[in-house]
Chain A
């Protein structure tokens, strides 16, 4: 496989780009693998990549019902940050950011990790208290995050409306400068190329219909559209579809799948330097390198696999954006799309072993999945390889819903009084 660099690009340019080779082959399934990963998104492909590079396990297949990277990996708003409140979350997401920063070089594939800063706006006293709590916790955890005054917010993000007469006045914000965005497709492609290079089979358009178990209850393999494929270990990383797949192994999860929408504007010259999140009005926005304003919306109220959200939610999201950035009112929406996010009761992921021997699960990321990709994949690979929790993913167990030891980022954002 050709190594990517300016020189190879130039060389190929001069030869009419005829000599580039395919970045990953379209593999057909073998009879058996050491590890089968269900779901060829960033998380699944990443886990395969780290199994190969960190643990020397290369007899691995990544199986997807559709095209790789076609799920939430290719449908999210690419926000990356790690300024979470709880130690457990902060460690996991910060581990991810550490990996993000070197990922292009690691993969020899430019995933365009853009350290442009993520600014979270506080619109009321409660936000201020909550964000300061995050900032202090992050500081003592060694996680980058600092408070900006209203004026500093405006300076950092000039399109911001800081009029105190606004329906939701900006009372300051929490800034993580180390955070930013990345090119979502490139993440999937880069991991796929890296894994394939090391012998991992990537099997696309091959729905997994069931997980088969041995008489002793342990995992035997997966039933697929292309027949049964044996495996010593099966790891499910199927985002919105995880419940459906795990059900076939009689593992029932505290998960619900909701439609999540996002949209982009027509492309314009650079106007928006960073990422801004406003939880109070439910709006998330950045500008892609192509020039489009990339805007994240909320989830619809009902569970769904339709990847098709309603109009009212989009109306609210756009209204929220123009409330905070009135100059964008005459910009135009180019396209909007939907994804399916799997949500747990405490809004934190489930990442590790299951009651079934040899079956592992990585799910429940809600809207946080993309930013966690390298960190989740890296620690998930460890757990699959060693059959034990990685110190970083250890708290994200299934048991916590029984004991009540939740990692409740949602509750910590708390209810207004």
Chain B
């Protein structure tokens, strides 16, 4: 069971309180009807699925109820950081320990 830091509660808590919500920073277009089929497929289905740092969303479901973002290494499952929804996407180079950049 993972340990997750909720950026709203400012506590590090067991995964049991959280639900995973998929890849982060996929913005729903302002005007979906203006999207091509390709663009809409991209929005709905295409995912990075990286082996390594992954920008993803979690919800503190049993806690404050907030959706927030995280960067987690999908190989070690360790969180590099978590941050509030709407906050800018952090630069990986500031997160990775030396040698892994």
Is A70 in contact with chain B by the CB < 8 A criterion?
Answer: no
In the complex, the answer to whether B47 meets A402 with C-beta atoms within 8 Å is no
A-B CB contact pairs (8 Å), 5 listed:
A254-B45, A256-B22, A256-B47, A308-B77, A345-B45
- Which listed residue (B2, B40, B46, B50) contacts A253, Cβ 8 A? B46
The majority secondary structure among interface residues of chain A is: loop
Alpha-carbon separation in the docked complex, A303 to B75 (Å):
10
Is A312 in contact with chain B by the CB < 8 A criterion?
Answer: yes
Query: Contacts A244-B50, A301-B20 given; 10 further ones with Cβ under 8 A?
Result: A243-B50, A243-B51, A244-B49, A252-B46, A253-B47, A254-B45, A310-B2, A345-B44, A402-B38, A402-B41
A305-B46 contact, Cβ under 8 Å, with A310-B1, A311-B1, A402-B41: no
Contact residues in B for A241 (Cβ distance below 8 Å): 51
Residues of A within 8 A of B (CB): 241, 243-244, 252-257, 301-306, 308, 310-312, 342, 345, 401-403
Is B10 in contact with chain A by the CB < 8 A criterion?
Answer: no
Alpha-carbon separation in the docked complex, A302 to B48 (Å):
14
Is B72 in contact with chain A by the CB < 8 A criterion?
Answer: yes
In the complex, the answer to whether B76 meets A306 with C-beta atoms within 8 Å is yes
Alpha-carbon separation in the docked complex, A401 to B16 (Å):
32
Contact residues in A for B54 (Cβ distance below 8 Å): 303
Specify the chain A residue showing the minimal Cβ separation from B45.
Answer: A254
In the complex, the answer to whether A303 meets B74 with C-beta atoms within 8 Å is yes
Specify the chain A residue showing the minimal Cβ separation from B36.
Answer: A402
Contact residues in A for B41 (Cβ distance below 8 Å): 254, 401-402
Alpha-carbon separation in the docked complex, A312 to B19 (Å):
14
In the complex, the answer to whether A305 meets B20 with C-beta atoms within 8 Å is no
Alpha-carbon separation in the docked complex, A112 to B78 (Å):
40
In the complex, the answer to whether B74 meets A304 with C-beta atoms within 8 Å is yes
Alpha-carbon separation in the docked complex, A244 to B38 (Å):
21
Q: In chain B, residues 29-59, which have Cβ atoms closer than 8 Å to a Cβ of chain A?
A: 37-38, 40-41, 44-51, 54, 56
Specify the chain B residue showing the minimal Cβ separation from A254.
Answer: B45
- Which listed residue (A243, A302, A402) contacts B20, Cβ 8 A? A302
Specify the chain B residue showing the minimal Cβ separation from A312.
Answer: B1
- Which listed residue (B2, B40, B51, B56) contacts A244, Cβ 8 A? B51
Nearest Cβ distance between residue A249 and chain B, in whole angstroms?
15
Nearest Cβ distance between residue B34 and chain A, in whole angstroms?
17
Q: In chain B, residues 65-83, which have Cβ atoms closer than 8 Å to a Cβ of chain A?
A: 72, 74-77
Contact residues in A for B48 (Cβ distance below 8 Å): 243, 252
Specify the chain B residue showing the minimal Cβ separation from A402.
Answer: B41
Contact residues in B for A256 (Cβ distance below 8 Å): 22, 47, 49
Alpha-carbon separation in the docked complex, A253 to B49 (Å):
9
In the complex, the answer to whether A305 meets B16 with C-beta atoms within 8 Å is no
- Which listed residue (A255, A301, A308) contacts B47, Cβ 8 A? A255
Alpha-carbon separation in the docked complex, A254 to B15 (Å):
26
Contact residues in A for B75 (Cβ distance below 8 Å): 304-306
Specify the chain A residue showing the minimal Cβ separation from B52.
Answer: A305
Alpha-carbon separation in the docked complex, A306 to B77 (Å):
7
- Which listed residue (B15, B38, B40, B74) contacts A310, Cβ 8 A? B15
Contact residues in A for B19 (Cβ distance below 8 Å): 301
Scoring B1, B20, B50, B51 by chain A CB atoms within 10 A of each residue's CB, the highest score goes to: B51
Q: Top 4 A-B pairs ranked by shortest CB distance? A: A254-B45, A243-B49, A301-B20, A402-B41
- Which listed residue (A303, A306, A308, A402) contacts B56, Cβ 8 A? A303
In the complex, the answer to whether A403 meets B51 with C-beta atoms within 8 Å is no
Scoring A243, A301, A303, A403 by chain B CB atoms within 10 A of each residue's CB, the highest score goes to: A303
Contact residues in A for B45 (Cβ distance below 8 Å): 254, 345, 401
Q: In chain B, residues 2-30, which have Cβ atoms closer than 8 Å to a Cβ of chain A?
A: 2, 15-16, 19-20, 22
Contact residues in A for B22 (Cβ distance below 8 Å): 256
A403-B56 contact, Cβ under 8 Å, with A255-B49, A257-B49, A304-B77: no
In the complex, the answer to whether A254 meets B46 with C-beta atoms within 8 Å is yes
